[in-house]
């Protein structure tokens, strides 16, 4: 089995969420952060034959880079990485000691659905870095929906706000999340947000979805 560039990109992204992963039989990859506040799933073209525990995903990806045209073979103890003139035997970890999703998330009813382009998300992240803030909110009122970078603990702190368009819900809300949890592959996203303090981010061009927890200070209809 050879891993596609898309799958390698997804695994690299997942390593930023959790340094370890269990590759499950089938064509779906899943990971969850240690704090259990980010869960990500992706569909891939490869069909993995069995459970494979990888303790250090970044290391595993670097190992693949040591071998030209790496092809993977699996057994109960290790992954054989064979390529042009070189090979690596990479021992797998016991899946039970790794942090893995225990169950799928059933997304509650989303009161707010917005489209967020890669350009606008990057602008918000850049504003957070410039202003030194850690929080981003999707805010809505009679004037529309926007994303806002701010400090919820300091009402006099500088803010950055970017319009996302009309507010079909007609509700007033402030759905807050920590910017450090937005560990997303590049791209445009459909974002579904529930007052149950969970958001669902669906990449519009790649088969990857993220579930990201909201901060408890979020409000809806207030």
* DSSP output for 81-150: EE-SS-EEEEEPBPGGGS----S---PPPPSEEEEE-HHHHHHHHHHHHHHT--EEEEEEETTEEEEEEE
Collapsing DSSP to helix, strand or coil, 182 comes out as coil
* CATH 3.70.10.10 domain locations along the chain: 5-97, 112-220
Q: Which residues of the chain have pLDDT under 50?
A: none
CA–CA separation, 7 and 102 (whole Å): 22
Per-residue confidence (pLDDT) for residue 187, from 0 to 100? 96
Chain mean position to CA 174: 21
Task: Compute and round to an integer the Cα radius of gyration of the chain.
Answer: 20
> Do 193 and 113 meet the contact criterion of CB atoms below 8 Å apart?
yes
73, β-bridge pairs: 80
CA dist., res. 137 & res. 218, Å (int): 8
Please tell me the predicted confidence (pLDDT) of residue 76.
86
Side-chain-side CA neighbours of 206 within 13 Å: the count stands at 23
Q: Which residues, in sequence order, are bridge partners of residue 202?
A: 190, 209
Q: What is the topology classification, in CATH, of domain 5-97?
A: Proliferating Cell Nuclear Antigen (3.70.10)
The confidence score (pLDDT) of residue 168 equals 87
* The pLDDT value given to residue 192: 97
What is the C-alpha separation between 200 and 202, in angstroms, rounded? 6
Q: Which structure tokens are listed for 70?
A: 């790496």
Q: Residue 104: its pLDDT value, please?
A: 86
The pLDDT assigned to 94 comes to 94
Residue 139 near residue 145, CB atoms below 8 Å: yes
Contact predicate 220/111, CB 8 Å: yes
| pTM for this prediction | 0.94
Architecture of domain 112-220: Box (3.70)
Indicate the DSSP class of residue 28.
E
Give the pLDDT score at 85: 83
């Amino acid at each position: 089995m050879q891993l596609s560039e898309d799958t390698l990109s997804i695994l690299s992204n997942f390593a930023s969420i959790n340094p370890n992963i269990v590759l499950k039989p089938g064509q779906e990859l899943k990971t969850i952060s240690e704090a259990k506040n980010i869960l990500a799933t992706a569909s891939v073209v490869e069909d993995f034959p069995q459970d494979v525990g990888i303790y250090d995903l970044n290391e595993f990806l670097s190992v693949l880079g040591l071998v030209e045209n790496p092809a993977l073979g699996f057994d109960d103890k290790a992954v054989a990485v064979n390529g042009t003139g070189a090979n690596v035997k990479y021992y797998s970890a016991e899946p039970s000691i790794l942090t893995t999703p225990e169950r799928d998330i059933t997304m509650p009813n989303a009161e707010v659905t917005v489209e967020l382009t890669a350009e606008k998300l990057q602008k918000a992240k850049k504003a957070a870095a410039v202003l030194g803030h850690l929080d981003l909110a999707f805010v809505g009122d009679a004037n529309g929906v926007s994303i806002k970078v701010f400090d919820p603990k300091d009402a006099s702190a500088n803010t950055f706000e970017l319009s996302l368009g009309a507010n079909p819900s007609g509700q007033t809300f402030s759905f807050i999340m920590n910017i450090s949890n937005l560990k997303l592959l590049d791209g445009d996203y459909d974002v579904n947000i529930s007052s149950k303090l969970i958001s669902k981010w669906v990449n519009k061009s790649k088969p990857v979805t993220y579930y990201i927890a909201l901060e408890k200070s979020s409000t809806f209809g207030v």
